[in-house]
Structure 1
Amino acid sequence: MLRPETIAGVAAAQDGVVTLDGRDGLAITMTPEAAAETGRRLIAAAALAALQSTEEPPLE
């Protein structure tokens, strides 16, 4: 099972697009509209996840 990332990505605006850089070479480029919707979806998912159990399953 993959471990969830604990370090937030870095977002930037450049030349009319939004970039998101993360660990291990993660790099995403989005239109402003796609970035805004992704942000809303991430916030909603984070709120739901925070309400769920925080117990970690055993590592296999």
Structure 2
Amino acid sequence: MKAVSGSLVSYKPMSPSKAASVLSSFTSVDTGESQTVSAYLRRACASFNELVRFYRELKTGR
């Protein structure tokens, strides 16, 4: 496995729904990542979607 490094260039806060949308778009594109990374990204995407549903439930008072 190759090491990956990087640095933060800029920072802009985003809503959980926007983050879920960005992550969903990223996971739908075949980037050639390993099955392990792909599974991790799918789980992260599912978690963000669950968080968005939770926030919506809180907002509606259910």
Give the structure-1-normalised TM-score. 0.41
Judging by fraction of residues, say which structure has more helix. 2
Which structure carries more relative contact order (alpha carbon 8 Å, separation 6+)?
A: 2
Give the structure-2-normalised TM-score. 0.40
